[in-house]
Structures are given as structure tokens and as C-alpha cells.
Chains A and B, each alone.
Chain A
Amino acid sequence: MATQTSPMRDYIFFAVFAVAVLTMPVWLEPIGAGYPDLLQKFAIFGLFATGFNLLFGLTGYLSFGHAAFLGVGSYTAVWTFKLLGMNPIPAAIMAVIASGLFALAIGYVSLRRSGIYFSILTLAFAQMSYNLAYSVLTPITNGETGLRVLQSDPRLFDGSTESDGPLLSNLFGIEMTGYAGFYFCAVVLLIGFFIAQRIFRSPFGIMLRAVKTNQNRMTYTGLNPRPYTLAAFVISGMYAGLAGALMCITDPLAGAERMQWTASGEIVLMTILGGAGTLLGPIFGAALIKYFENIFSAFNEQTLHEIFGFLPDWIEYPIVSVSSLFVGEGWHLTLGVLFMLIVIFLPGGLMEGIARIRKLFRRKPGKAEPSGAAAPAE
């Protein structure tokens, strides 16, 4: 941390952030992102990325299996709905507990190794979970169809209430869809962000950064790095589980594809795109990716022709045919290219970019968030 932080500054920072998040429906309206479905995704993936960043950004341990915790959180949430009722709060709590325990087990084993071995171990565990969710665990996960809440489920607390139509999660009568769903997710994101901010400034946070910088010195300083990294891993798994629960709170359906390793890859991308090791970066990255995913995948050749319509035909057609590769179904191509560009040119992510630009203008060290470069745990 090259800058002095004070509690006051942090509270102001948090307040500004909170206002920005809660007013998103207003200020994102002009760019076409002001509708609830997308806003919910911003909040959910922002939370997921914040948690991932607590592990990767601070300790440098690159987990390629975080989607497994997301999945566990989702399944737990739906089961809580099925057994206890449609209130989101018990679902969220149960999801955090379950994913925390799951992360504890996986982390305990995986953290015995570091570097690429750690990445592969986490990947292996996530793939195992995914494969099992699809096959043997079908009684729990409902396999390919996905797990959903049925009218016939016991739902201890509100099972008696008959309703027709799909079952939705509701907080004391407020249905968790639309803007209500968004605000619920946003509040959870703010809580998660607040905790992350405290961890960043805490002795524990410093220890995690010490793990990243020099484990050898840490050991000879009388500190055992393993419980620190394990704690970070579990906390980060809990964030992922909570994000998974939010997905089910806004749409009570859990599927195994959520656990696939491409999903893990996506969260890595969001984090490094925004800037691993910074507080805001990962949330920023998550929102950006979800936004562009939304915009780009809605494009088709027709809309491209409209956009490039002002060009003469002989330019318009080649441009449209090339750019059509990157939109709609081809959104993943854009994602891949973006991924490469960021790693090649801006390893510190967008936050580093912003810091660099600020530096250019100020000619003195910027007072931006500390932007730790994304170095691995080696």
C-alpha cells in the first residue's frame, strides 16, 4: 500500500461505492444496462469476483476450480427452498455454510501444493464435482435437468401457502425478481464488499499479501502460511457459494453447468480484467464482462448493418462479415481476444490502466487504489 489509508477515507469510499451501486438502475439506464436481469448479474458476479480476488489477488494462488463453490452454493440454496421455504435468508446462510465446508475440504488438500500444481488440483476437484453432479449425484442435483423447487416439496415454513405459477423466492412477501431481486443482491454485494475492504486493511490481509510475496521469509518469521491461505480459500469459497445462492434466489434453478471449468475461467478473467489485488477492479471487471456479453450476444448481422450503414457498401460488407464473428454466438471469441490482450498488455488489469493514466496527468504517484500486479504464488 503506497498510500495512507484512514478509517475515514475508507468509510467515504464505501459510502460512494454504496450509492453508486444502489443507483445503478438510474445511471446505467442511458447505456441500456438499467434493467433488473442484467443488474442482478452485475451484483452477483461482482460478489463472486470480490471473493475470488481475496484468494488470487492477495495470496497469488490461482484457483481454477472456483465454479465448484458457486455450484455447491446454488444446490444448497435450492435445497433450502425445497425443505425450509422460499425465504432467501436461510438459503443464503445455508449456502455460505455448505460452500465454506466444501472449500475447507478442497482447500485443505489443494493447498499442500503451490504454483501450477495448486491450479491443477483445484481444477481436478472442480471437474470431479461437475462430473459427479451430472452422474451419480443425480438424486441430489437432478442431473442435466437441473434442480428446481416443486409445489410438492415440504417447504416447512411456507409449504401450506398454495400458489399457482412458478415458485419464486420471497423475502417476507417481496418476490425476489426484478428490481427487488436486484436490490437484495446489491445489499449482499455491499456487505461482501465491506468485509473485503476490512480484510484488505486488516493484519490478516497483510499476512495474505506476505504469502504472495515471500513464503520463505514468512516461515522464518514464525508464521505458518498454510492456515492463512486456507482461511483465505475458505472465505473466498464462501463468497462464491453466496453468489451461487443469489443466482438461485433470483431464479430458483440450479444446474451442473454452473460448475464447469469454463465458468471458473470466466471468474479468473473478470478478476484480472479489472485488476487482481485491487478492491474495485474485480467488480468492475465482472460488470464489464457481463455488460458486453449482454450487448454483444444480442447483436446480429442485421444490427451490424445498421451500425455500419453509413459506410459505402464495399467497406460495409467486409466490416460487417468480420465483426459478425465477434458478436452473437461469437461472443466467446471476443472474450478470448480480450483475455489475451489484457494479459499481454495490461497484466495489472483496468485499475492499473487507470492508475497509469492518472500518473500521466499528475506527474506524481497517483493516490488510486493500490494495484498489485497479478503475480502467481511461486
Chain B
Amino acid sequence: MEILRVEGVNKSFGGLRALNNVNFSVEEGTVHAIIGPNGAGKSTFLNCMIGRLAPDTGTVKFGDISLTGMKPYEINQVGVSRVFQTPEIFSELTLLENVMIPTMAKRDGVFALHAFKRLDQDTEIVDQALHMLEDVGLAEKKDSIAGSLSRGDKRRLELAMCLSQEPKLLLLDEPTAGMSRADTNNTIDLLKRIGDRGITKVVIEHDMHVVFSLADKVTVLAQGTIIAEGKPEDIKGDPRVQEAYLGGAHL
């Protein structure tokens, strides 16, 4: 079953055509990778899906809901979470607080004025957040300030924040960018484990090692157009893809 369907999306910046009539769909429960050389329009594409940018034309449908024109927080509330290229976390707050916030957002919605009850007495939220931190292996650091974490740990924290919302669809923008090999492998393991929860994932990635160890399906974007789509092993051999990647040195 399709969970996300993008139809005829165009986006230009000034004279530059960043996305050219992109059609794209994601099957529920799969990991779908979007790859492409630098400047191919991957991030623009992701931003159009998440409501950060408004596409010039075209529609983005999540199940039966049209995401176009929705605010980012509304998109999140219908079940789409996002991991950013550089981890976006609440760096002045503790890890536990970082995870409690999305947990509350999931339970209480866009806005709730709980100004008079104590957060630490809200066992439901505290327990959920603690479980989540345990799942990503950060439980022992729950009281440290998030800003002091290593980059790999920040990424894990951000993943925990997204997962705590039990999203139907998780968008990941280069989740391993700038990470050491060890951190990358940890992240891959983590992402594989979340697969068990049946969360559909769309991954934008540079690192082919990550793509081929995770993805069920790969879409190749070059100069704003989809040039190939298929199973990872098919994509590997596709001459158009190799050409797009400068003779395929990368593969």
C-alpha cells in the first residue's frame, strides 16, 4: 500500500529549476532511499514534502491527506517526522527533557496549556521517554545537557525524539553525514532495528554503504529529475546512474 505519493512536483529558485516534474511514491513499511549527486535537488525535494518549502506545482499526498500547504507542525501531527542533516535538538535541555517534549506533542497536540501540573509527576510521559532513551542506548546520560553530546549521540537523540512520536513515516536527511565509520554503523543498526516497528522511512543519503545496507528501493535524482528507480542491486548496474555519478567512481 502506498503511504506517500508525490505527483508532478516542480520547484524553481529564480531561474534555477531545482525540481522538474517529480513523481514519486513510497510503499508502506519499506525503506526508500533517494540518492543523487550534489545539487541534484534531494534536499529541496525533502523540504517540499515536509512543508518547509511550498512546491510551485504538484501535490504531496500522505495516505489520503494532502500535505501541500500544511504547516510543518501539522504535517508532524499527522504522522511524519524528520531527522535533519545536522541534528536539531534542544541543546540547552537534558536528554530526558528532549525526548519528553515530542512525547507530549504526540499526546497533547499542537498546543496544550499544562501550566500547573508537574512534569516529573507525569509518569506516563517520563516512562515513555525513558524507554525511548534506553532503546537508543542513551539512558545513562538522561540528565546531561544535550548540547554536550558527541555528534553521533546527538543523532541518536534526534532519532529517539522522532521515534518517540511513533511516526508512520520518518524522513531522514543524510543521517550519517559527518560521522565516523563506527558511528555510521551504529546508526545503521539503529535504523534497522526501527524497521521492526513498521515505520516507513525515506532516506536521503550520500554514503552508498548506508544506502545498500538499508534500502528496499532506491530512487536516483539528478538535476531535479528522477533518472532511475528500482531495487538497490538493479540501480548499482544502471549505466545512467553511473553516468550521473561521473562515471560511477562512487559505486
Contacts and interface: CB of A to CB of B under 8 A. Distances in A.
Interface string B194-207: 00000000000000
B113 interface: yes
A235 B73 CA distance: 24
A172 interface: no
Interface string A206-228: 11011011101111111110011
A198 B76 contact: no
B245 interface: no
A335 interface: no
A4 B96 CA distance: 12
B72 to A, nearest CB: 5
Contact of A213 (B91, B112, B121, B122): B91
Interface string A362-376: 000000000010010
A227 B82 CA distance: 22
Contacts of B122: 203
Contacts of A7: 118, 121
Interface stretch (B102-110, B208-216, B220-228, B234-242): B102-110
Contacts of A220: 50, 72-73, 76, 81-82, 84, 88
Contacts of A31: none
Interface residues of A, number: 36
Contact of B112 (A5, A203, A209): A203
A12 interface: no
A199 interface: yes
A359 interface: no
B97 interface: yes
B120 interface: yes
B90 A198 contact: no
Contacts of A210: 90, 93, 101
A228 B111 contact: yes
A1 B116 contact: no
> Which DSSP category, helix, strand, loop or mixed, fits chain A's interface?
helix
Interface in A229-270: 231, 235
Interface residues of B, number: 44
**Most chain A CB inside 10 Å of its own CB: which residue of B71, B77, B111, B114:** B111
Nearest to B171: A220
B120 A2 contact: no
Contacts of A228: 111
B1 interface: no
A231 B112 CA distance: 10
Interface string A1-32: 11011110000000000000000000000000
A224 B115 contact: no
B103 to A, nearest CB: 10
A209 B92 contact: yes
B117 interface: yes
A202 B118 contact: yes
Interface of B: 50, 71-74, 76-77, 81-82, 84, 88-94, 97, 100-102, 104-106, 108-122, 125, 143, 145, 161, 165
26 contacts: A2-B94, A2-B145, A4-B120, A198-B116, A198-B118, A201-B118, A202-B114, A202-B118, A203-B125, A206-B93, A206-B97, A213-B90, A213-B91, A216-B88, A217-B88, A217-B90, A219-B71, A221-B102, A221-B165, A222-B106, A222-B110, A222-B165, A224-B110, A227-B110, A228-B111, A372-B92
Interface of A: 1-2, 4-7, 195, 198-199, 201-207, 209-210, 212-214, 216-224, 227-228, 231, 235, 372, 375
Given A203-B108, A206-B104, 9 more contacts: A198-B115, A201-B120, A202-B119, A205-B119, A220-B72, A222-B102, A224-B110, A224-B111, A372-B92
